[in-house]
Amino acid sequence: MSYFITGTDTGVGKTLVSCALLNAFAAQGKRVAGFKPVAAGCDADDRNEDAKLLSAASTVRATYGQINPYCFPRAIAPHLAARHAGTRIDLPRIMASYRELAGQTDEVIVEGVGGFCVPLNEKLDSADLAKEIGLPVILVVRMRLGCINHALLTLRVIADYQLECAGWVANVLDADMPSLQENIQTLRERIAAPLLGVIPHMVEPDMKVAASCLDLGLLGAPLAER
């Protein structure tokens, strides 16, 4: 099973969790690839750092363009980044790249851009992309003040789009977050999907450490087993 990774906001650890999942599935002997449909913010080589990390964590050979079909220079909202670059983000191009990767792999980990509802063009947003791809969604929650509201609102939209939330990950980016465990417990009580793991605060993010924090056995488990 492949998964679509989204977050409660931008900069919440989607790439870390995506790479951790790739690392964990690869350790099971599966052929895996990361997929970053849209990225805003490129280096001097016109490549995005997150997409390069996904590529490095993949076990199949794929071109950069397959892994990241849309990459824009400016690190701003993707529809604005595309407009500044004089282009438009279209789903058929994204889906063609996704199907190429899916045909080569056992698992594709699709990392969304920004939050779940960030616009992609004048009509579509990231939620529409997730719906088009049709994969179960894993939600990355940045543990900080306000995370409960952000997580529950995002889950409502995921449900509105009739997508399955396969699980969620608590990513502790704020080392001094007050009442951390109580916040995690509150979310566990309100989210039907399983908590796949809690990633501790790390000065330098490490995908192998993050992978060790995830329980992949909870993915696809019946609710009674969660």
Contact 78, 40 (CB under 8 A): yes
Task: Say if CB 129 and CB 91 are below 8 A apart.
Answer: yes
Q: Is 36 a catalytic residue?
A: yes
Q: What is the per-residue burial (b if ≥16 Cβ within 10 Å, else e) of 148-181?
A: bebbeebbebbeeeebebbbbbbbbbeeebeebe
88-117 burial, b at 16+ Cβ within 10 Å, e below that, comes to ebebeebbebbebbbebbbbbbbbbbbbbe
CA angle 6–12–15, rounded 5-degree value: 65
Selected catalytic residue, list 14, 36, 52, 131: 36
Q: Cα separation of 38 and 88, whole Å?
A: 11
Residue with tokens 């996704």: 98
Phi, psi of 22 (to 5 degrees): -60, -45
Give the residue numbers marked as catalytic.
36
